[in-house]
Structure 1
């Protein structure tokens, strides 16, 4: 690939990432509206709820189909782990996630993003639960783990490339959650590193999606008690 082709590929990839993120924001609007203002009419809430789910599903399908469902990173220098080893790695990552995120939530101030979710939860419980626990994690992993890898790191041949992928993926993940450059970013940095690491180590996007769902589910449960 010459310089011109590489520049075109990078530019196209950048525009696609922006496009996917724009569609993500649009698909989230119906879920967010009930949490921004008090809507008393039940039928309006139901319509917005269903519309949000439909738009999110269509976006998931669009991204999935765009890459033909191939969210299996090609990391050439890693061994092919069998099922037992993958389970062990997954459990280790899950424990690290829960311990480190739990610890950081106690030692750093509540982030603006988390405060917004708490406020949304108080105004629209079910919309927030579905959005935060089910829809958001799937779409974010498809974009910031899957699409990023497919567009810019199709073949990961060295540890340096894998490290760069994890850094960029984590930086984007932290940035989209509106975290300022201070201690509030620590939980999102931890999540970003663990989610992107699970994707490249375990070789399937289902693992980082499930970790993301688990993290957000526990956050919602803690919010409810």
Structure 2
């Protein structure tokens, strides 16, 4: 199989996996839409979202570990949590907080606009607080780390080389930022910078649980 055809199939597979995740998010949006209008319909959408979320988790986990069994030159796996690694993870979290604090200061001083998707998210949490919070804090970090870090690197930047790592981190963060804004803007850079920290964390610790934990802490901080 030619390189172009192989990459085309990988891109198609990645887009399909992304569509699956976005479809689950749409179910939550529909549940939120009817939260104050039709309780029965809201419950049905929430139930469908939970069933699909479980299916997405099984699919992502199976595919990710299947890919690592086939080709894993970076030796990704489970690295034991210890105080040294926990301290390093906390430093990465502080870095993410520093990015957010700096960005919020620029917004406060009217140098940058408020991210439109953040305003929309705040509104959704007010309409359906429990499930939007649960999804944003618990579900999204797992799905997005498997998709934008684990599966992304397995598909496109699996070689263990300096250039593969650097370009992979850059592109991973850029896609992550774009999909949070759905348009290239200065706000895309903000989300991309968070994506770069998460991608760097994944490659540094060689264990996707660390970037998931970091993503969880970041999202929890945002809603506390």
**TM-score band, normalised by the shorter chain?**
0.7 to 0.9
RCO greater where, 1 or 2, for CA within 8 Å and sep 6 or more? 1
CA contact (8 A) 2:117 2:181 kept: yes
Q: Distance in 1 between matches of 2:81 and 2:33?
A: 47
Which residue number in structure 2 is paired with residue 36 of structure 1? 33
Residue deviations 1:165-212, cap 9 Å, x none? 001100110111125433322320221111000000000111111111
Which residue number in structure 2 is paired with residue 188 of structure 1? 191
Q: Could you tell me how far 1:160 is from its partner in structure 2?
A: 1.5
Q: Distance in 1 between matches of 2:95 and 2:208?
A: 18
TM-score, normalised relative to structure 2: 0.85
- 5+ residue gaps in structure 2? 107-111
CA contact (8 A) 2:137 2:219 kept: yes
Q: Could you tell me how far 1:87 is from its partner in structure 2?
A: 2.5
- Aligned: 1:206 with 2:172: no
Which residue number in structure 1 is paired with residue 51 of structure 2? 54
Q: Secondary structure at the match of 1:56?
A: helix
TM-score, normalised relative to structure 1: 0.85
Q: Secondary structure at the match of 1:155?
A: coil
Count of aligned positions: 214
Which residue number in structure 2 is paired with residue 123 of structure 1? 127
Q: Could you tell me how far 1:70 is from its partner in structure 2?
A: 6.1
Which residue number in structure 1 is paired with residue 109 of structure 2? none
| RMSD, aligned α-carbons | 2.4
Q: Distance in 1 between matches of 2:50 and 2:56?
A: 10
